[in-house]
């Protein structure tokens, strides 16, 4: 149509005819005169067929009751229905209603009527946790192939032991009561009750009233150790509530009417091992242990207790011989001799006994004395405490506490002091002198002053004599003659005073010479004056103190 025809009647008619031939959009293709032809022209015929055959999009699925395997393999891929066997034992795996969906079909390019196969999924309507997957493949070589159904497991449908091939395991666990937190009492009436228990069974059991199948009264923990391959034979370990342990045998059923029980803790006694077991239970372990009882080493011969070094050499020996002198202890390979705790109550050390810390007091023997010696502490009524030193020939000394509390020290021999000996405030000096308050000092001074003073003198021509007891001093001398007076020095001065002096001719006078005058007079305590006549010497004497 061009612009010249736009408003002509003919143009209007053509437009109206065209409009009449068009589809109304508000009809949504419902005004198609030939829908199948339209679908065919649109190449949607197969889609429509597939939707109709598979029930896709239906709000309510139709029921499908298959009777044969072919009913299932003939279903198109994607087919959905509410399905149940037409009769019990049909091709579906159980007799419940399922939602059925064909997951796929086997291809058949050769159009072989015997080539059949499909994969189908089922979901149980009443329990959506139960679902199945079925598969069948028949390549046409057989007519006996059937669907194989596998049950799907999920959180709503957990497999049972039977489902996963553990039925026997489950039965064994149930039969043996393995893993139970609490076991009920199994009341035993016959020996067969025990024989019928499986291997590994654990039971908490007790005899029925009047029954003696188990070895004693009370409750038992039972464990079936093993089952015989035939004759229902069993070996059972039974532990009683009194802690007795038994093992029971019944080898052949019914030939052996009852179990034979052996009490294991009595078996130790029967074997004579009770004492050994007791000792083992209370044995001291070689790698270290703690004892609360006695340890006995029983033997008439010498039995040693030894501490050893890692290399096996002895570090210490301890022993006591039967009938010996006492307990011996020594330092092993380090030497030093035996220390002996004598059975007479004494103690012997090879060299010395020391006491103290950093400064020690020792009682020692160099082992080179001809005699043995000992200190002894003893006492009596009149001598309460005596500390005495003795040797094999007798006592040396003792210190004694008297009944009044005073102390007496006595020596059976001489006392030697290299310097002095003190007795209270008195002193005995090494030169023999004694100093004490009774003498007012040293004894020799007292003697000199009070008893036998020593006289002294100088026995020369001009000499002197001193009387120690009186202090009187006599002096004498000769002075040569001259015509004058002479001053003479006395041999020693008088300490206190001169008493008198006398002078005379020092020789024998001839007849007629007696008129000669010779004299002497004290000048002072240390000098005198002498006169002479005719050149004769003058002899003089002076007395003083």
Average of per-residue pLDDT across 430-435: 89
pLDDT at 452 (0 to 100): 61
pLDDT-based confidence at 234, cuts 50/70/90? very high
pLDDT at 15 (0 to 100): 62
**Residue among 157, 150, 102 nearest 130 (CA):** 157
**Which distant-in-sequence residues (6+ apart) come within 8 Å of 288 by Cβ?**
none
d(CA 52, CA 272): 95
Instruction: Out of 15-24, 305-314, 459-468, 486-495, pick the least confident.
Output: 15-24
The phi and psi torsions of 38 (rounded to 5 degrees) equal -65, -40
- Express each pLDDT in 390-416 by its tens digit: 999 999 999 999 999 999 999 998 888
Average of per-residue pLDDT across 286-305: 86
Q: 45 exposed, middle or buried (CB, 10 Å; 0-12, 13-18, 19+)? A: middle
Cα angle 471, 476, 482 (rounded to 5 degrees) comes to: 150
What is the set of domains in the chain, with CATH numbers?
A: 1-53 (no CATH), 62-152 (no CATH), 178-270 (no CATH), 305-352 (no CATH), 456-544 (2.60.40.3940)
122 versus 159: the higher-pLDDT residue is: 122
**Please, which residues bridge with residue 297 across strands?**
none
- Express each pLDDT in 325-341 by its tens digit: 999 999 999 998 999 99
* Residue 499, both tokens: 């008493």
For residues 306 and 319, the answer to whether their CB atoms sit within 8 Å is no
- Express each pLDDT in 184-208 by its tens digit: 999 999 999 999 999 999 999 999 9
104: Cα separation from own chain's centroid: 76
pLDDT at 22 (0 to 100): 62
- Number of Cβ atoms within 10 Å of the Cβ of 269: 12
pLDDT-based confidence at 292, cuts 50/70/90? confident
**Please, which residues bridge with residue 185 across strands?**
204
**Which distant-in-sequence residues (6+ apart) come within 8 Å of 239 by Cβ?**
220, 221, 245, 246
pLDDT-based confidence at 357, cuts 50/70/90? confident
pLDDT-based confidence at 161, cuts 50/70/90? confident
pLDDT at 508 (0 to 100): 72
**Residue among 402, 428, 433, 403 nearest 416 (CA):** 428
- Position 380 pLDDT exceeds 90: yes
**Residue among 79, 85, 92 nearest 149 (CA):** 92
Average of per-residue pLDDT across 506-530: 81
376 versus 45: the higher-pLDDT residue is: 376
For residues 143 and 170, the answer to whether their CB atoms sit within 8 Å is no
- Position 513 pLDDT exceeds 80: no
Cα angle 412, 418, 419 (rounded to 5 degrees) comes to: 120
128 versus 3: the higher-pLDDT residue is: 128
Handedness of CA 109, 112, 115, 117 (dihedral sign): positive
Residue whose pair of structure tokens reads 């293709």 in the numeric block: 29
Average pLDDT, the chain: 86
pLDDT-based confidence at 45, cuts 50/70/90? low
- Position 469 pLDDT exceeds 60: yes
3-state secondary structure of 3: helix
- Number of Cβ atoms within 10 Å of the Cβ of 511: 5
pLDDT-based confidence at 116, cuts 50/70/90? confident
- Express each pLDDT in 311-321 by its tens digit: 999 999 999 99
pLDDT-based confidence at 275, cuts 50/70/90? confident
Average of per-residue pLDDT across 70-87: 92
Residue whose pair of structure tokens reads 């003089």 in the numeric block: 540
Question: Which stretches does DSSP call E strand in 228-378?
Answer: 234-240, 245-250, 260-263, 305-308, 314-319, 326-330, 339-342, 347-348, 352-356, 360-364, 373-378
Residue whose pair of structure tokens reads 């405030």 in the numeric block: 425
pLDDT at 41 (0 to 100): 64
d(CA 77, CA 74): 9
d(CA 458, CA 9): 211
pTM of the model: 0.34
* Residue 81, both tokens: 């229905």
pLDDT at 47 (0 to 100): 67
The DSSP symbol for 528 reads E
**Residue among 458, 457, 433 nearest 446 (CA):** 433
For residues 211 and 192, the answer to whether their CB atoms sit within 8 Å is no
For residues 248 and 236, the answer to whether their CB atoms sit within 8 Å is yes
pLDDT at 484 (0 to 100): 75
The DSSP symbol for 157 reads B
Q: What is the largest CA-CA distance in the chain?
A: 245
- Position 3 pLDDT exceeds 80: no
The phi and psi torsions of 189 (rounded to 5 degrees) equal -110, -35
* Residue 491, both tokens: 């041999």
- Express each pLDDT in 88-107 by its tens digit: 999 999 999 999 999 988 88
pLDDT at 63 (0 to 100): 93
Most confident of 50-59, 325-334, 420-429: 325-334
Question: Which stretches does DSSP call E strand in 192-330?
Answer: 202-207, 220-227, 234-240, 245-250, 260-263, 305-308, 314-319, 326-330
d(CA 133, CA 147): 10
Burial state string for 354-364 with b = 16 or more CB within 10 A and e = fewer than 16: eeeeeeeeeee
């Amino acid at each position: 149509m061009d612009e010249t025809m736009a408003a002509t009647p003919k143009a209007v008619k053509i437009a109206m005819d065209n409009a009449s031939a068009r589809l109304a959009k508000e009809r949504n293709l419902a005004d198609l005169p030939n829908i199948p032809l339209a679908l065919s022209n649109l190449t949607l015929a197969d889609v429509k067929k597939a939707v109709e055959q598979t029930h896709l999009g239906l709000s309510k699925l139709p029921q499908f009751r298959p009777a044969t395997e072919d009913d299932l393999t003939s279903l198109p891929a994607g087919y959905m229905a509410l399905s149940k066997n037409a009769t019990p034992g049909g091709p579906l795996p159980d007799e419940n209603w399922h939602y059925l969906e064909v997951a796929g079909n086997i291809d058949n390019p050769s159009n072989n009527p015997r080539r059949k196969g499909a994969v189908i999924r089922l979901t149980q309507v009443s329990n959506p946790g139960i679902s199945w997957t079925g598969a069948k493949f028949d390549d046409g070589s057989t007519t006996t192939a059937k669907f194989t159904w596998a049950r799907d497991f999920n959180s709503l449908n957990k497999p049972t032991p039977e489902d996963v091939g553990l039925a026997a395991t489950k039965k064994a666990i149930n039969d043996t009561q393995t893993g139970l937190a609490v076991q009920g009492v199994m009341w035993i009436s016959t020996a067969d009750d025990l024989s019928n228990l499986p291997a590994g069974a654990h039971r908490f059991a007790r005899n029925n009233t009047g029954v003696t199948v188990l070895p004693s009264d009370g409750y038992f923990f039972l464990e079936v150790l093993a089952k015989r391959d035939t004759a229902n034979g069993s070996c059972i370990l039974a532990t009683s509530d009194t802690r007795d342990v038994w093992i029971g045998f019944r080898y052949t059923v019914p030939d052996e009417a009852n179990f034979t029980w052996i009490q294991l803790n009595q078996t130790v006694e029967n074997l004579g091992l009770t004492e050994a077991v007791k000792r083992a239970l209370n044995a001291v372990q070689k790698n270290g242990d703690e004892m609360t009882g006695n340890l006995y080493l029983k033997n008439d011969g010498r039995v040693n207790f030894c501490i050893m070094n890692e290399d096996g050499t002895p570090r210490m020996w301890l022993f006591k011989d039967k009938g010996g002198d006492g307990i011996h202890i020594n330092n092993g390979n380090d030497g030093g001799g035996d220390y002996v705790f004598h059975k007479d109550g004494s103690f012997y050390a090879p060299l010395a006994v020391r006491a103290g810390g950093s400064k020690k007091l020792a009682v020692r023997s160099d082992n080179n004395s001809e005699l043995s010696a000992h200190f002894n502490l003893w006492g009596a009524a009149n001598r309460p405490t005596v500390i005495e030193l003795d040797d094999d020939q007798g006592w040396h000394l003792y210190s004694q506490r008297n009944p009044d509390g005073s102390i007496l020290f006595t020596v059976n021999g001489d006392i030697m002091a290299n310097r002095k000996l003190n007795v209270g405030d008195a002193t005995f000096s090494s030169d023999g002198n004694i100093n004490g308050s009774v003498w007012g000092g040293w004894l020799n001074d007292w003697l000199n002053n009070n008893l036998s003073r020593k006289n002294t003198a100088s026995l020369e021509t001009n000499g002197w004599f001193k009387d120690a007891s009186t202090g009187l001093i006599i002096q004498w001398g000769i002075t040569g003659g001259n015509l004058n007076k002479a001053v003479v020095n006395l041999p020693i001065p008088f300490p206190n005073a001169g008493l008198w002096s006398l002078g005379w001719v020092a020789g024998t006078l001839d007849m007629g010479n007696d008129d000669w005058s010779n004299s002497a007079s004290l000048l002072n305590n240390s000098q005198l004056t002498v006169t002479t006549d005719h050149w004769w010497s003058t002899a003089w004497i002076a007395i003083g103190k």
